[in-house]
Amino acid sequence: MRAALVIAGRILRQRLRDRSAIIFAVVTPLGLALAFSMLIPNEFSSFHTSFVVVDQDGGHVAKILTDDVLGAIVDAGVADVQTGTTEAAAAESVRAGEAGAAILIPAGFTAAIETGKPAQVTILGGEFAVSLEVARSVVSRFASDVGAAQLMIATTAATGGTVDATTISQAQAAVAQPGPIAVTDTATEQFQANLATFYGAAMAIMFVFFATQYGSLALLSDRETGTMPRLLAAPVRPASIIFGASLAGLALGLVSMTVLWIATTLFVHASWGSPPLVALLILAAVVAAMGISTLVATLARTPRQAGGLNAIVALSLAAIGGVFIPLSQAPEGMVMVSQITPHYWFLRGINTLAASTSGLGDILPSILVLVGMGLVLGGIGLARARRALVA
């Protein structure tokens, strides 16, 4: 163990001295994480839009939509609602990007509802697809509630009941109230890391491969420069030499991810979650990255070749693993494939931790998969490295 620590210390000293590890493992990912979180609109994490409503009807059913239903959205902080005068002005407002969508209530809307005739609300969408979808969802739900009220009134009449002002008033109140059944999107709740957290974590897991590679690259460098025979001739077991290099990779990986964790938390208000659990997840991710880097290095003959190969593997796994685009927007098949990458499991763990109620049990699958990947792939790599040293 002493020899391994001596070797790890020497590798760390060399890497810090040439600054390559600092640039690849800390400066670059931190810069990219900050840039991504500042440049990309934060639409996914704290959605807010505005609607313009043109009420050409003015009846009480229309008012339920404008005041009660849309009012609830305003109260929730999801949207602002402006009142438009004409359809053309509303359309222009949407085109100009001043409103995310326009909701047009035609004249005779209330009368049509009250007489059981078809009625229509028009929605105009602009370049923000999410705003259009939100407007459509709100109005669709209102239409369903109105339909339910109409059905209640029709049923009352058909069964010989009296449809009087009280009955109609009750139906209108029912429409204005929140639905009796609340559908909670558990997936959305689970994956609620904000953009700063997502890109901080994504850059961390992508660039940790560049940090952990320095351990195995040191072994290749020792072989190339001629220092390996002297290491092997020393009273040190070959396994200690490899273990020492792995320790250096582990240390660099931990430093890289920890710096990103702290920096994004301090500077862009990323929220990675409970520190002890984040630390566990980071350790597991570094083990996985180290295992893959070690195996990749054994496929190369020179440090330069290994560095190139490692970069290809790191970027490919990052692309598949959802580092560049959140997997919530990827096709289902892509999500399946992404599960072969450590990136998927790490980001899944981080997203899970973003829910304040998450505990160790929630991220345990991610930790187990990451550590398993690291041990299996790293084990194969270490065996290959040992054989190559003293073949």
Partner 1 sequence: MTVTTDLGPDEAAASAAEPAATPTATPSAKPSASVLSCRDLRKSFGSREAVRGVSFEIAPGETYGLLGPNGAGKTTTISMACGILYRDAGEVVVAGRPLDVGSTEAKAAIGLVPQDLAIYPDLNARENLAFFGRLYGMGGRTLATRIDEVLEVVDLTDRAKDRTEHYSGGMKRRLNIAVGLLHRPRLLVLDEPTVGVDPQSRNAILTSVEALSAQGMGILYTTHYMEEAERLCDRVGIIDEGRIIAEGTRAELVALVGGEDKVSLTASGNLHTAAEALGGIDGVQGVTVHGGGLDLLVHGARRLLPGLLEAASRDGVSIRSVEVVEPDLEAVFLHLTGKALRD
Interacting residues toward partner 1 by CB under 8 A: 2-3, 6-7, 10, 13-14, 17-18, 225-227, 229-238, 390-391
Asked if 330 contacts 338 with a C-beta cutoff of 8 angstroms, the reply is yes
Instruction: Name residue 325's amino acid.
Output: I
Q: The sheet that has 122-125: what strands, in order across it?
A: 79-83, 49-55, 101-105, 122-125
Q: How far is the CB of 228 from partner 1 (least distance, A)?
A: 8
Q: How far is the CB of 17 from partner 1 (least distance, A)?
A: 6
Closest approach, Cβ 8 to partner 1, in A, equals 11
Q: Alpha-carbon distance 222 to 303, whole Å? A: 9
Structure token digits, residue 32: 């990219």
Instruction: Pick the closer one to partner 1 by CB: 8 or 202.
Output: 8
The beta strands (E) that lie in the chain are given as 49-55, 79-83, 101-105, 122-125
- Whose Cβ is closer to partner 1: residue 20's or residue 274's? 20
Nearer to partner 1, 90 or 218 (CB): 218
272 by DSSP, 3-state: which? coil
Output the smallest distance, CB 27 to partner 1, in A: 20
Helices 360-389 and 195-225, interaxial angle, to 10°?
10
Instruction: Tell the burial category of 47 from Cβ atoms under 10 Å away from its Cβ (0-12, 13-18, 19+).
Output: middle
Q: How far is the CB of 14 from partner 1 (least distance, A)?
A: 5
The residue (of 76 and 233) whose beta carbon lies closer to partner 1 is 233
Contacts of 374 (CB under 8 A, 6+ apart): 284, 286, 287, 288, 289, 290, 291, 292, 342
CB of 95 or CB of 301, closer to partner 1: 301
Nearer CB in complex with partner 1: 177/227: 227
Q: Of 14 and 167, which has the nearer Cβ to partner 1?
A: 14
Q: Taking the complex as a whole, how short is the minimal distance between the CB of residue 227 and partner 1, in angstroms?
A: 5
Token pair of 314 as six digits: 């790191």
Minimum CB distance to partner 1, residue 212 (Å): 20
Q: Which residues pair with 54 in a beta bridge?
A: 104
Q: What sign for the dihedral angle of Cα 232, 386, 221, 206?
A: negative
Question: Smaller CB distance to partner 1: residue 9 or 372?
Answer: 9
Q: Could you tell me the smallest distance in angstroms from the CB atom of residue 232 to partner 1?
A: 4
175 touches 145 (CB < 8 A):
yes
